[in-house]
Amino acid sequence: MPSVKTALVAGASSGLGRAVAEALAADGNTVYAGARSFARGKQPPAGCRALALDVTDASTIQAAVSRILGEQGRLDVLVCCAATFTMSPLEELPPETLADMMQVNLIGAARCVQAVLPVMRAQGRGHIVLFSSLNGLFSIPFQGAYSATKHAIEAYAEALSQETRRFGIRVTVVEPGDCSGGSQQYRLTHIAQDSPYAEAFRAGTQKIHHDESHGLPPVRVGKAVARAVGKKHPPARLVVASLEQRSGAWLHKFLPRKLFNRVIESYYR
């Protein structure tokens, strides 16, 4: 793979996606930043070329890939960061909301992957970076729907790697911990006015907000992804999190599940 790469970052208008696009561009790569908001005039990340891309609309994805090939003649890297998020007790979460989250977080990524795979196979090389989360490894209260989409990404990426390695395509799953900045602007909540979960929901979401506000800056994740993209042999998994955040994954791996659930419930109580 060339040292200077052509990359498409889906979901690059804000947060981690924007940070990744900026970090890749800062390393000298040619970066196309895709998001719906660029069609409405929002400025792209520094050093990037804007694409009006909606991961729920296959035609915009194909148009983006066609433009990149027309201008660059190749596409070396796909990064899928687009995501939506609603916090809610699972008993009260409308199934339609879960379907919408799956449509963006999982199926949107799959649309992007399917659009670039024929190009990467023809090239005999490529790197696909899919964003999961530490919540793709374990769940926490009131983020069960989001965690379900990220668990799905983990499974999807694992099979994708097994199927495409023979074509010279590498797959990396990024598992960030809590990151500061921007999440509250886009996050939704859903809870009934007389919900029996109201007290626990209030305490749990306050803890979540606190941890995110004290989380890693998105630029840390962006630079970590850029380093991985620059490697000849990129990692299959890339955890970017504080030691405290990583401990949750370790506890999930080694503790009996009943005990782990009690620890997490107590932490967010």
pLDDT digits (tens, 9 = 90+) for 197-236: 999 999 999 999 899 888 899 999 999 999 999 999 999 9
CATH at residue 56: 3.40.50.720
pTM of this structure: 0.94
Residue 95 lies in a domain: yes
Assigned domain for 265 exists: no
Q: Of these residues, 88, 133, 139, 146, which one is catalytic?
A: 146
- Residue 268 lies inside a defined structural domain of this protein: no
| Averaged confidence pLDDT in the chain | 94
Residue 248 maps to a domain: no
* Burial of 182 (C-beta count, 10 Å sphere; 0-12/13-18/19+): middle
- Residue of 13, 14, 88, 183 marked active site: 13
Q: Is 183 a catalytic residue?
A: no
Query: How far is it, in rounded angstroms, from Cα 44 to Cα 31?
Result: 10
- CA–CA distance, 28 with 23 (Å, rounded to integer): 9
Among 88, 132, 133, 139, the one annotated catalytic:
132
Does some domain include residue 261? no
Domain with 12 in it? 6-242
What span, in angstroms and rounded, lies between the C-alpha atoms of 228 and 249? 21
Query: Does 193 reside within a domain?
Result: yes
**Residues present in the chain in total:** 269
Tell me the residue ranges of DSSP E strands in 104-210: 126-131, 169-176, 188-189
Look at residue 215 in the predicted model and tell me its pLDDT.
86
Catalytic residue among 32, 147, 150, 156: 150
Catalytic, 231? Answer: no
Q: Which helix (H) or strand (E) holds 78?
A: strand 77-80
132 catalytic? Reply is: yes
> What's the Cα-to-Cα distance from 1 to each of 169, 170, 231, rounded to whole Å?
10, 11, 10
247 domain-assigned: no
Is residue 105 domain-resident? yes
Per residue in 112-166, pLDDT (tens digit) is: 999 999 999 999 999 999 999 999 999 999 999 999 999 999 999 999 999 999 9
Domain count, the chain: 1
